[in-house]
């Protein structure tokens, strides 16, 4: 429900209206999830490619200069060189997680409204 009404009597029409609104909200949430996944699907290979390219370039530069890099030095320099791509990947992962959470929330609210709707319909029917 869109607000926190306590013990307010609801009609089946009101519940149906709330359900329709939640279905629209769910549709929007799923679209946001699709966009977030597309962003992640771009960020992941971009980061992996940039990481591999930077690592190769750093190793070649060290060989040309005659420098000996430790594995830790190589890892550190590679991380520094690909920080922007890594940050974009982390943001994309966060966006996917947040969008999934929003879809889950909408689905839970829809389930609650359905249960509430069944109870209200039964109350409106009266005793059998």
Q: Looking at residue 93, what is its pLDDT?
A: 98
* Distance of alpha carbon 40 from alpha carbon 48, whole angstroms: 12
Cα 108 to Cα 17: distance, rounded to the nearest angstrom: 17
pLDDT at position 7 over 90: no
pLDDT score of 3: 58
Domain extent at residue 89: 12-125
Count the domains in the chain: 1
Mean pLDDT of 101-121: 92
Q: Which two tokens stand for residue 71?
A: 């594995």
Q: Give 67-101 pLDDT, tens digit per residue.
A: 999 999 999 999 999 999 999 999 999 999 999 99
Residue 3 forms part of a structural domain: no
Is 2 part of any domain? no
Question: pTM for the full model?
Answer: 0.79
pLDDT surpassing 60 at residue 1 = no
Residue of 95, 78, 97 whose CA lies nearest to 86? 78
Query: What is the per-residue pLDDT for 5?
Result: 57
- Pick from 66, 65, 61: which is nearest to 77 by CA? 61
Helix (H) or strand (E) holding 25: helix 12-65
Q: Please tell me the distance from the alpha carbon of residue 39 to that of residue 34, in angstroms, as a whole number.
A: 9
pLDDT band at 121 (very low <50, low <70, confident <90, very high): confident
What radius of gyration, in Å, describes the C-alpha atoms of the chain?
A: 26
């Amino acid at each position: 429900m869109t607000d926190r009404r306590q013990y307010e009597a609801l009609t089946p029409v009101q519940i149906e209206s709330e359900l329709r609104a939640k279905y629209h909200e769910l549709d929007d949430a799923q679209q946001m999830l699709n966009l977030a996944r597309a962003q992640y699907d771009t960020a992941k290979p971009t980061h992996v490619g940039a990481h591999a390219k930077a690592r190769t370039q750093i190793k070649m530069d060290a060989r040309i200069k005659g420098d000996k890099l430790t594995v830790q030095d190589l890892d550190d320099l590679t991380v520094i060189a690909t920080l922007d791509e890594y940050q974009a990947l982390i943001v994309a992962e966060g966006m996917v997680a947040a969008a999934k959470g929003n879809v889950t929330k909408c689905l839970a609210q829809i389930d609650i409204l359905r249960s509430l709707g069944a109870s209200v319909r039964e109350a409106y029917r009266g005793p059998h």
